[in-house]
């Protein structure tokens, strides 16, 4: 036993050193986890003009969670999930300062399924799991011809969100937003966080 533990003692520091060196080297080799320019919540695009899935959006400002449940829509709502809506920090700051959405605003809607309908607090609708991600971006350089300079995107469903998304045709998204959203293609009428942030 003594002999084994002696030899262990001789070998272990060497192994520890090697393991440390390997760990350090692999840390140096790991690329930055986010795409350049994207970590600050700025819209970024690939060369083909597709929007890169924004990173870290669950740490943006959460503005509201509209819900159109099946039970209130004849058993079959088009989108029966919660719509968790976020705005990127630079869009929020611009809106708070000027009362208008600046270029570079990203609105991100993450669908979340209805899970439980009963809790100790009572009956209702409680969030289940993440379902899908849709995005709109205001960018006059990128979308000079889109109404309001808003581009609309769908990143598909969890857990297989697409890393990039092409702009969707104007008619499939933009028209309804233009017709019914209270402010600049955004449904601020459903987002008290934004209404409260708007300067007088
Ligand atoms: C029939 C009308 C209609 C169409 C078509 C539509 N939307 Fe919306 N959208 C809404 C409404 C109403 C809201 C806010 C309330 C809600 O989420 O239910 C909304 C909210 C959003 C939001 C959150 C930010 C905001 O503007 O309020 C995003 C992002 C969004 N939609 C993306 C899309 C995309 C992408 C498409 C096309 C695939 C699309 N929408 C098509 C009606 C529409």
3-state secondary structure 55-111: CCHHHCEEEECCECCHHHCCCCCCCCCEEEEEECHHHHHHHHHHCCCCCCEEEEEEE
Q: Is 109 in the pocket of ligand 1 (CB under 6 A)?
A: yes
1 and 98 share one domain: no
Cα distances (Å, whole numbers) of residue 12 to 3, 20, 54: 14, 12, 44
Residue 85 lies in a domain: yes
73 and 13 share one domain: no
Cα–ligand 1 centroid distance for 62 (angstroms): 16
Cα distances (Å, whole numbers) of residue 173 to 8, 138, 181: 67, 14, 12
Residue 46 lies in a domain: no
* pLDDT for 41: 83
Residue 10 lies in a domain: yes
To which H or E segment does residue 144 belong?
none
Cα–ligand 1 centroid distance for 13 (angstroms): 60
Cα–ligand 1 centroid distance for 177 (angstroms): 6
98 and 23 share one domain: no
Residue 36 lies in a domain: no
For ligand 1, atom 19, name the residue with the nearest CA. 187
55 and 11 share one domain: no
84 and 149 share one domain: yes
Residue 40 lies in a domain: no
4 and 98 share one domain: no
Residue 44 lies in a domain: no
The tally of domains found in the chain comes to: 2
76 and 153 share one domain: yes
Residue 42 lies in a domain: no
63 and 120 share one domain: yes
* pLDDT for 94: 97
- CATH number, domain at 171? 3.50.70.20
- Report residues of the chain scoring pLDDT below 70: 1-40
Give, for ligand 1, the residue of 95, 101, 109 to mutate: max count of ligand atoms closer than 8 Å to Cβ: 109
Distance CA 139, CA 193 (A): 22
17 and 57 share one domain: no
* pLDDT for 2: 42
Residue 164 is part of which domain span?
A: 51-197
For ligand 1, atom 15, name the residue with the nearest CA. 66
Examine residue 159 and say whether the peptide bond preceding it is cis (omega within 30 degrees of 0).
yes
Q: Are 88 and 64 in contact (CB under 8 A)?
A: no
Ligand 1 atom nearest to CA at 152: 35
9 and 58 share one domain: no
Q: Is 173 in the pocket of ligand 1 (CB under 6 A)?
A: yes
Cα–ligand 1 centroid distance for 194 (angstroms): 16
Distance CA 62, CA 191 (A): 9
Residue 177 lies in a domain: yes
Q: Is 106 in the pocket of ligand 1 (CB under 6 A)?
A: no
């Amino acid at each position: 036993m003594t002999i084994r533990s002696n030899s262990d003692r001789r070998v272990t520091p060497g192994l520890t050193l090697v393991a440390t060196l390997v760990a350090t080297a692999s840390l140096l080799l790991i690329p930055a986890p986010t795409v350049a320019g994207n970590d600050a919540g700025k819209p970024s695009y690939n060369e083909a003009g597709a929007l890169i899935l924004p990173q870290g959006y669950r740490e943006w400002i959460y503005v509201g969670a509209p819900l159109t449940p099946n039970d209130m829509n004849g058993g079959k709502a088009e989108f029966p999930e919660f719509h968790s809506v976020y705005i990127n920090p630079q869009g929020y700051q611009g809106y708070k300062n000027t009362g208008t959405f600046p270029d570079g605003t990203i609105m991100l809607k993450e669908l979340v399924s209805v899970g439980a309908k009963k809790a100790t607090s009572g009956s209702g609708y409680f969030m289940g799991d993440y379902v899908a991600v849709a995005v709109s971006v205001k960018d006059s350089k990128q979308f000079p011809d889109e109404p309001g300079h808003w581009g609309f995107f769908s990143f598909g469903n969890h857990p297989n969100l697409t890393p990039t998304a092409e702009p969707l045709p104007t008619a499939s998204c933009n028209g309804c937003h233009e017709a019914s959203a209270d402010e600049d293609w955004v449904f601020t009428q459903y987002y008290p966080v934004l209404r409260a942030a708007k300067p007088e």
